[in-house]
Homo-oligomer: A and B are copies of this chain.
Amino acid sequence: MACNLKDGATISFHHHLRDGDDVLRAVMSEIAALGLRDIRVAASSLFPVHAPLVEHIRSGVVTRIVSSYITGPVAKAISAGELPTPAVLQTHGGRARAIEAGELHIDVAFVAAPAADIYGNLNGVEGKSACGVLGYPMVDARHADRVVAITDTLLDFPLSSIDIAQDLVDYVVRVDSIGDPAKIVSGTTRVTEDPTGLAIAAMAARVIEASGLLVDGFSFQTGAGGISLAVAKDIAVAMRDRHVIGSFAAGGVTEGIVSMFKQGLFRTLFDVQCFDLGAVASYREDKGHLAMSASLYANPASKGALVNQLDVMVLGAAEVDLNFNVNVTAVGGGAIIGGSGGHADTAAGAKLALVTTRIVAGGNPKIVDAVECVTTPGETIDVVVTEAGVAVNRQRADLRARLAAAGIPLVDIERLRDLAADQAEATVRRQVDPTARIVAVVEYRDGTVIDVVRKRRNLPPGA
């Protein structure tokens, strides 16, 4: 193999093809066929489609995993203790930091490229698997010893737009398909239609309006969840009503954010990854819709990550506790459900880090005494918006006063905890076994270990 991969090597992947990615499977299959062992997989995220990795863990081909977000069978295998070493869960910005600092040295970066030319210029806006901006592998490509682009669309040299240029790419490999376009980006991202979700979103928008931040120069980021999209929609109305011109929106960009940009509500979009086809088309066509690398986005050791200029970040949560710590990493006594992605990065940077959540979901309370696993420290979370009221972090007396003056229904976080406990089903919450082996360490964005995940107790059949 031209890359001279050896046992023990670190190889990286990016997640712009999301649950449609077929590149990681194909590469790992070749690596296993070569008889390599003890590989460290540094994948920016892992999705259900990456299930074949479980077999490579069981056979000893893969013994180490570093990622910022893991769901599906790989998460389940890690939770069950199948990986011989603890998985390392980073943030998106922490990953960029670790790569640039040399802590996470990549031997070979595999870049799934929706379009490439034979000299290694790459973009994500052309080809049948177009996914938009390639913000995450920009960092891998710059620092890996070897960079292998894998594409199903080889175009004439030179590409008309370039996210990663040929001076960083060693090899280009053409395959029939890098993935399933239907699962790479959503056709459209959809605003929630659930009445409770809409009520929470409307309240979040009121909180943002009352915060004093919704003035010219406003900057904003939100995820692609249904409630978050509804918040964006309400904020768009408020911006128009108040004649506010925002400076930028960042993300993870969706059609809704693009629509705000096209209406002139934001002057600029900083985009690390497109979430839907509308965002892909806009990045392809629109000046002012700028790519950003993971480092520019969120690296705390860079000379100025954009998260630090965010006014408002709208976040989700699996659990929030009385100290405002947020868990999006592991629940149910050790089941890994994702991880930070940009959660901890944007919360740390934004002036107003706002969590929207129902107080109960799936019968389980979401406002709890102490989260099972700390993804994002409470000192970086300003406010929690639920259908049962809005709780402000004790550190933010200024914000509490503003919200009270605006008539926002404020409650103590303890009250939300009590309401959640009342509404939750009577089942006892599954506890972490404090003596069990550590299966994952959670790295904060600066590389310190902020929490761990322990092996899950054996489940009863059917659980």
Contact = CB atoms under 8 A, between A and B. Distances in A.
A303 B170 contact: yes
Interface of A is mostly: loop
A168 B303 contact: yes
Interface stretch (A75-83, A304-312, A365-373, A446-454): A304-312
A285 to B, nearest CB: 9
Interface in A317-362: none
A302 interface: yes
Most buried by B among A120, A296, A303: A303
A248 B292 CA distance: 25
Taken together, the copies of this chain in the complex come to 2
Interface residues of A, number: 35
A166 B120 contact: no
A398 interface: no
Nearest to A308: B119
A194 interface: no
A269 to B, nearest CB: 10
Contacts of A176: none
Contact of A161 (B160, B161, B287, B304): B287
Interface in A137-161: 147, 156-158, 160-161
A358 to B, nearest CB: 35
Most buried by B among A165, A169, A290: A165
Contacts of A217: 156-157
Contacts of A287: 160-161
A293 B270 CA distance: 21
B267 A166 contact: no
Contact of A119 (B119, B165, B293, B309): B309
A303 B166 contact: yes
A388 to B, nearest CB: 38
A10 interface: no
Interface in A103-157: 119-120, 147, 156-157
A170 B301 CA distance: 12
A169 B304 contact: yes
Contacts of A254: none
B167 A309 contact: no
Most buried by B among A167, A217, A287: A167
A360 B304 CA distance: 55
A305 B165 CA distance: 10
Given A303-B120, A303-B170, A309 B157 contact: yes
A293 to B, nearest CB: 8
A247 interface: yes
A167 B288 contact: no
Contacts of A166: 296, 303-304, 306
Given A167-B295, A169-B303, 11 more contacts: A156-B267, A158-B248, A158-B268, A160-B268, A161-B288, A166-B304, A167-B293, A167-B299, A167-B306, A168-B303, A169-B304
14 contacts: A119-B304, A119-B309, A120-B303, A147-B303, A156-B217, A158-B267, A160-B267, A166-B304, A166-B306, A167-B293, A167-B295, A167-B296, A167-B303, A168-B303
